[in-house]
Structure 1
Amino acid sequence: MFIVLIDYTAPVEEVDYLLADHAKWLDRHFGAGEFLAAGRRAPHSGCVIVTRPMPQVKLEAVLAANPIVQRRLAQFRIIEFNATRTAPELRLVNEALVV
């Protein structure tokens, strides 16, 4: 699994112009089952995405297609982790624990 930290490199006002495109991008990847959770960071300096396990190179390509990243208004950091414990309602999405 991955946690992705997206950091804005431009003022939020500039990023806001692309939020509709960003939302469509998110919808596409939630629909494909790749993303598990996403939301704004507090304070609003970027966002966080939790993903299913996938090859990191695939995730990097997905993130590079984010309209905010493409316009160089944000950059991303990827943190890979193996969830060894999850709440019962998350067991089905944690492929590391599925037996």
Structure 2
Amino acid sequence: MFIVSLTYRCELSEIEAHLAAHIEYLEQQYTLGHFLASGRKVPRTGGVILADMPSKEALEAVLAEDPFKQHQLADYDVIEFIPTKTNEALSSIRQTL
């Protein structure tokens, strides 16, 4: 499991210009089962993605397809973690060591 933290490198007007393509990219990744949740940071300085991928390398290949990455609009910080404890609503992502 991975948490991806995006931090914008440009003005929001440039983000807005590529937002439709970014949303289409997100939808594709949800359909493929790669992403579990995503959304904007508050304040709007970037976004966060919760991803379920087999490896960091596989995730980085998927992130390379993001229009925000392709246009160098955001920096990406990837954190791998093992969700060993969750509430019942998230029990499907729970893992054991």
Normalised by the size of structure 2, how large is the TM-score? 0.93
Aligned to 2:32: 32
Percent identity between matched residues is 38
Where does the alignment leave 5 or more consecutive residues of structure 1 unmatched? none
What SS does structure 1 have at the residue aligned with 2:84? coil
Aligned to 2:21: 21
Aligned to 2:44: 44
Measured after TM superposition, the shift of residue 93 of structure 1 is 2.9
Aligned to 2:85: 85
Measured after TM superposition, the shift of residue 84 of structure 1 is 1.1
Measured after TM superposition, the shift of residue 89 of structure 1 is 1.4
Aligned to 1:58: 58
Query: How many residues are paired up?
Result: 96
Normalised by the size of structure 1, how large is the TM-score? 0.92
Aligned to 2:69: 69
Query: Which residue type is aligned with residue 60 of structure 1?
Result: E
Query: Could you tell which deviates more after superposition, 24-33 or 50-59?
Result: 50-59
Measured after TM superposition, the shift of residue 87 of structure 1 is 1.0
1:85 and 1:3 map into 2 onto residues whose CA distance is 16
Do the aligned partners of 2:6 and 2:76 also contact (CA within 8 Å) in 1? Answer: yes
RMSD of the alignment, in Å? Answer: 1.0
2:20 and 2:53 map into 1 onto residues whose CA distance is 26
Q: C-alpha deviations, 1:32-83, integer Å up to 9, x for none?
A: 1111100000110100001114211010011111001100111101011111
